[in-house]
Every structure is written in structure tokens, then in C-alpha cells.
Amino acid sequence: LISANVVKFEKEEGNQNSESTNWKAKLEISGFNQTEIVNFNLNEDETITGKTQSIGTRFILEKDFFSLLNDWSTKLRSRTIFQFSSSNIQNLEVIHEDRTILISKNSDQNWKISESNSSGETVMDADQDKIQSFFREINSATVDQFLATSIDLKLKEEFKIEDPIYKINYMNSDSSSNSFYFTRTRDTEQMWTVIDQNQSVICLIEKDFNKLLDIKPLTFRHKSLLPKDFNTSNIIISNNDSNSSLTFDLSRISKETQSLLNFSAETFIDSTFLKDGTWVGGDWIPWKYNLSFSNSDMNNSQRLDFQLSERKGATIWYGGDPNSKLIFKLPINTIDEIQKAASQVD
């Protein structure tokens, strides 16, 4: 509005009563305890005549100026539609076909992620950094075009609200809630029609929601492999073939030893745990080592065993948990420490 240029000024004709003009549009601007009103009309040559209430001089503007005065509810609406916050959300579910992913906080403010379908439900502890990263990614989506700011039955049918590809339901800690529906009405793979139920808004968003919302719970799982209150007192690595073993010296805690005390996965792999190994990407990975952790609780002594493959290249070492049946890759700092011990039991 401010950058619009006046083409020329016109003097008020002597007999002309400006108040009798049938103005097509009026712009009212208020500030600093003052109000200015500017009236506009469309001329036969498609230029625009404008006149301020405080000044009698008329001015001419280019014809495209009228487009700036139309549809402010859409043009000035925020292009951000998702505003998920890990501090506010109590739970969020993503529904796709017969599969439901639920991300929720328990009473201790720890995150859980579950997957349920017709065959059952799986629940696991979730990594807070992964949850926050997910919220940041979906919040970054911006509206390309608003299609409707009011939803009636006809629009519900047209945009398949009752049968979306994805549906998000969420509830905040203050019990407020909302739902988003994701459908596709165009051939472009990343152009989605998104419906905001509370705002009654239908819009187009260009985003790879297939990649973002087709959630694999393992990618959100907490990376720690030891129980939260497990106080490790002893770590032993043994060779499954020779039965030779080595006990790690925990009397001096170094940076490398600390990585074992905080034994964690870098990533989890969707593979089946077998007693003697696992299949990864079509390759058979046999278990070569056993890594055992014992705790120092005299009242509840516990030992946890993990199976490890041999080292694969510079940065890959596979492991498996016989209890949870999870397959994982180890982080590089843990790999380096285990390599030193493994070389002594080979």
C-alpha cells in the first residue's frame, strides 16, 4: 500500500461535490490519535481515482491498486499453520490407513511412542531430541495457497475430509485440541491439501508429508540400551568362538569408558534378532562377541547381555539385544573403545 505511486494529481472541479461521488472502496487508516479516510473509484480507462478526506486534491493510481484492497483475510493471514510445541503438547496421534502412531508424555514428562494396528500395539520410550526435531520439521511447513476459510458439506466431500490419507489429532496440556486432515487433489507428489478443523481453513502446502508422517517408531526410540537406574559395576566382552574374555577397567573413568557406561545405539535397524546373527540389507551378520553389563545393586543384582558382530569398516558395528530383540548400530566413540578390547579376545 505504501509503495503505490500516484500517476498524476487532478484539481477539484468548481461545481463538483465530492461527497456525491459513488465511491467503490474506502480505506481507513488510524494512528497517533488520528484517522484518515481515502476513497477510491474505478474509471472507464481502468485507472483509479483516489481522494483523501483531509485534502481536496484527487489523484490517479494504476488499475492494479485495487488488488491490494481485496481479500485481506487471506493475504494477511499467517502462512504458518502448524505450531506444535513439546512443552505444550500432551499427546499427538498420526492416523494412516489402519495404523496409528501415538506420541505422548507421561506424568514424569517423559515421551513415549506407540504403534497400534489390527495385529496389536508396541510401546517404547522416545528420544526427546527426535520429538523436538519432528515438531520443528512439521512447523516449518508454510501455506502456498488458501483455498477456503469456511468449510461446508460440499467442501468436505470435495476434499475427502472423511477419508484423508493422513490425519493428525493432538491435545495440549490445557486440554485444548485440534485435528488436521491431509489429502491430495493434485498430481504433484509433494503438494498436499491440508484442512485445519478448528480454523475451518483449507489450504495447499508443498511438503513431503509422506516422508514426514509415515513414522517408523524405531527412529524415535530412546537411544539408551541400559535401564534408566542401572548402575554398572562390571563390563565383560567375550569371544563367542574362543570363549576368551576381557573385563573392562572401570576404576578410572575416561571419556571412552564413559561411552560404555552410557551404552547407547546410534540408530536402530528394522531387522529380526536371531540367536546366531541377523540379516541386514540382504547380508547375513553373525554374532561374534558377547558384551555383558552387571550392576552393583546387592539387593537386586542383574546382568544384561548384548550380542555384537565383528566391526564392519571404519564406522559400522552391529549389535543385538536378546531381551528386546532390537538390532542397532553403535556410535563411533563406543566402536573405538570396544575395538581395543575385542582385539585382545580374538
Q: What are the tens digits of pLDDT across the range 12-49?
A: 655 454 455 688 888 898 989 989 888 888 888 888 88
* Arithmetic mean of pLDDT, 208-223: 94
pLDDT at site 259: 82
* Arithmetic mean of pLDDT, 270-282: 95
DSSP track, 161-223: TTS-SEEEEEEETTS-EEEEEEE--SS-TTEEEEEETTTTEEEEEES-HHHHHS--HHHHB--
Spatial contact of 68 and 4, defined as CB atoms under 8 Å apart: yes
What single-letter DSSP state applies at residue 132? Answer: H
Q: What are the tens digits of pLDDT across the range 288-309?
A: 999 999 987 766 778 999 999 9
pTM: predicted TM-score of the whole model, two decimal places: 0.74
Instruction: Say how far apart CA 125 and CA 297 lie, in whole Å.
Output: 24
> What are the grid coordinates assigned to 304, written together?
544384561
Question: Taking 70 as the threshold, does the pLDDT of residue 74 lie above it?
Answer: no
Mean pLDDT value across the chain: 88
pLDDT at site 18: 47
Bigger pLDDT: 180 or 258? 180
pLDDT at site 160: 83
Return the closest-CA partner of residue 124 out of 330, 328, 260.
328
